[in-house]
Copies of this chain bind each other. A is one copy, B any other.
Amino acid sequence: GCEFMDRESARAIIRPRSVIAHKGSNGHCLVIAGSVGKTGAAAMAAQSALRAGAGLVSLAVPAALNPVLESKTTEAMTIPIGPEDKWHFLAGALGELLSVAKGKDAVALGPGLGTAPSTVYLVHSLLTALDAPLVIDADGLNAVAVAPELLLRRRGRVTLLTPHPGEMARLMGVSVPEVEADRIGCARDFATRFQVYLVLKGARSIVAGPDGTIAINGSGNPGMATGGMGDVLTGVIAALLGQGYHPFAAARLGVFLHGYAADLMAEETGTRGMVATDVQEALPRALQRLTVAEGGAAGTSIN
């Protein structure tokens, strides 16, 4: 099957929220992200999860970067990991991270992690050890590409990858043109072979399920061809997984919502010079437009 994602299909996925929801019922996401020079990626993934409706977000970062990330985020809580003078994650952080991951409803792994060998090793260990639904992006994917067979050890647990064509090529050991020549085929092959959910990003993002089902995203615009957009998507999908959406629904709704928020920005200020935090901050309005029936302020003290 191959679904085209438009506003109507997005609307059909979005679930009503209980009027007696509390922050616990909207999911607690853990974002594992960041290395020196790339704290922005971590901040965007965390803040985007909140902007996509996560109840709580904890952001685990290399300890030396904690002051920067406390300055950059407010509603998200940060968790410094590892030695105080380390600017990237070490393999030895496994225990701390597993302890922090306990009870979380979704984990995002990858934004701005860097490619230090010790960090790559850590990602491999986390793949096997983390039980929560897991979104892997960016440097997390580069680590997976070294040993994609590790994904098979996650059977029975939810794994969702969000590669761009370059990362897809590395994951499959092929060239970027080979990926571009058959985007649907590549996404489906990898998803079914490793039993994961996969979003292959690009002008028409492809969502593939482990059973080979495909959806094609209809939102988004060229203004998204700029750094950090992937970090925002990672946060959005983690938030949806944490709210209990089925992974295929989370992937489809996530990519549509992400592109739709960018389309709202394009409507306001055009596509050129759009930055990723613009899209992040437009997420609530995008969600509002997709849930009009609920009414913006329906059931509040205003009306």
A-to-B contact residues, CB < 8 Å: 6-7, 17-26, 36-40, 43-44, 50-57, 65-68, 70-80, 164-166, 202-203, 218-222, 225-229, 256, 259-260, 262-264, 266-277, 283-285, 287-288, 291, 294, 296-297, 299-302
| A141 CB to nearest chain B CB (Å) | 15
A37 B287 Cβ-Cβ under 8 A: no
Residues in B neighbouring A276, C-beta threshold 8 A: 74-75
**CA–CA, A37 to B63, complex, Å?**
10
B76 A273 Cβ-Cβ under 8 A: no
**CA–CA, A263 to B151, complex, Å?**
44
| A109 CB to nearest chain B CB (Å) | 19
- 7 extra A-B contacts, CB within 8 A, seeds A7-B301, A263-B297: A19-B203, A20-B202, A40-B74, A53-B273, A55-B226, A70-B72, A218-B301
B300 A287 Cβ-Cβ under 8 A: no
A277 B75 Cβ-Cβ under 8 A: yes
B74 A26 Cβ-Cβ under 8 A: no
7 smallest beta-carbon distances between A and B, as pairs: A270-B288, A273-B284, A263-B300, A219-B301, A267-B297, A40-B74, A272-B287
A291 B270 Cβ-Cβ under 8 A: yes
| A153 CB to nearest chain B CB (Å) | 31
A287 B301 Cβ-Cβ under 8 A: no
Cross-chain contact of A226 among B43, B56, B221, B226 (Cβ < 8 A): B56
B18 A273 Cβ-Cβ under 8 A: no
Known A221-B299, A222-B21, A301-B263; contact A72-B75, beta-carbon cutoff 8 A? no
Can you report 21 residue pairs joining A to B where beta carbons are below 8 Å apart? A7-B301, A20-B202, A21-B225, A22-B165, A23-B226, A40-B76, A44-B74, A44-B75, A50-B227, A50-B275, A52-B272, A55-B226, A67-B68, A72-B74, A75-B226, A221-B299, A266-B297, A268-B296, A270-B285, A272-B291, A273-B287
**CA–CA, A5 to B57, complex, Å?**
31
Cross-chain contact of A80 among B21, B37, B218, B219 (Cβ < 8 A): B37
A220 B55 Cβ-Cβ under 8 A: no
| A82 CB to nearest chain B CB (Å) | 14
Residues in B neighbouring A274, C-beta threshold 8 A: 284
Interface centre among A266, A285, A288 (most CB of B within 10 A): A266
